[in-house]
C-alpha cells in the first residue's frame, strides 16, 4: 500500500488524512499525471519549434535575397522601372503568402494550446475526483475498523464473563 503525494490531496483548508492506495491505483493516477505533463511538454516543443522555424526561414531568405537585391540595385541604372516594379510586386505577393502561412501556423498553435489545456484539466479533475473518492472510502473503512474494534472488545468482555461463569459453575459443582 502506498501513500499518495501531497499533490493528490484535496485542495481544502482542512487537514486531510493521508490516502492509502494500492500500487495499481497509484500507478494509474501517476500515468494520468504523466500524460498531462506530456501534453504540456509537446505544446512547449511546438511553440519552440515554431519560433525557431520562423527565425531560421527569415535568416535563410535574407541570406538568399541579399545578393539579388544588391545586384538589382547595381543594375537598376540601366533597367526600366517597370521590371523593378514587377520584381517588387512579386516580393510583396510572396510576403503576403508568408503572412497567411504565419496566421495558419498561429491558429494551429492555438488549437494545440487548447487541446493541451483541456487534457491537463481533465487529468487534474480526474485526479481530484479520485482523491475525493479515496478519501471517502478511507473514512468509511476507518469507521468500519472502529466498529469492528468495538465489537472485538465487546466479544472479549463477553468471553471473559463466560469464562468466569464457567469457572464459578465448576467451583460450585465440587
Q: List helix spans (H) across the chain.
A: 23-75, 81-173
Report the alpha-carbon distance of residue 6 to residue 51 in Å, rounded: 36
By CB atoms closer than 10 A (0-12, 13-18, 19+), residue 80 is: exposed
pLDDT above 50: residue 2: no
Report the alpha-carbon distance of residue 134 to residue 20 in Å, rounded: 8
138: closest CA among 23, 4, 18?
18
Q: How confident is the model at residue 150 (pLDDT cuts 50, 70, 90)?
A: very high
Report the alpha-carbon distance of residue 40 to residue 129 in Å, rounded: 21
pTM for this entry: 0.40
Residues in CB range of 157: below 8 A, 6 or more apart: none
Q: Are 86 and 74 in contact (CB under 8 A)?
A: no
Cα-Cα-Cα-Cα torsion 33, 39, 42, 48, nearest 10 degrees, comes to: -100
DSSP letter assigned to residue 7: G
DSSP letter assigned to residue 14: S
pLDDT above 50: residue 164: yes
72 or 113, higher pLDDT: 113
Amino acid at each position: 500500500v502506498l501513500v499518495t503525494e501531497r499533490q493528490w490531496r484535496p485542495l481544502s483548508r482542512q487537514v486531510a488524512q493521508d490516502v492509502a492506495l494500492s500500487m495499481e491505483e497509484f500507478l494509474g493516477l501517476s500515468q494520468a499525471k504523466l500524460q498531462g505533463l506530456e501534453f504540456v511538454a509537446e505544446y512547449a516543443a511546438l511553440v519552440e519549434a515554431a519560433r525557431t522555424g520562423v527565425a531560421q526561414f527569415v535568416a535563410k531568405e535574407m541570406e538568399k535575397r541579399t545578393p539579388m537585391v544588391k545586384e538589382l540595385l547595381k543594375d537598376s541604372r540601366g533597367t526600366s522601372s517597370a521590371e523593378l516594379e514587377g520584381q517588387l510586386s512579386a516580393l510583396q505577393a510572396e510576403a503576403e503568402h508568408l503572412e497567411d502561412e504565419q496566421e495558419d501556423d498561429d491558429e494551429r498553435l492555438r488549437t494545440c494550446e487548447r487541446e493541451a489545456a483541456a487534457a491537463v484539466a481533465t487529468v487534474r479533475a480526474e485526479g481530484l475526483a479520485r482523491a475525493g473518492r479515496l478519501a471517502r472510502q478511507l473514512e468509511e473503512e476507518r469507521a468500519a475498523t472502529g466498529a469492528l474494534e468495538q465489537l472485538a472488545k465487546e466479544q472479549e468482555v463477553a468471553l471473559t464473563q463466560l469464562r468466569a461463569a464457567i469457572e464459578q459453575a465448576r467451583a460450585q459443582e465440587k
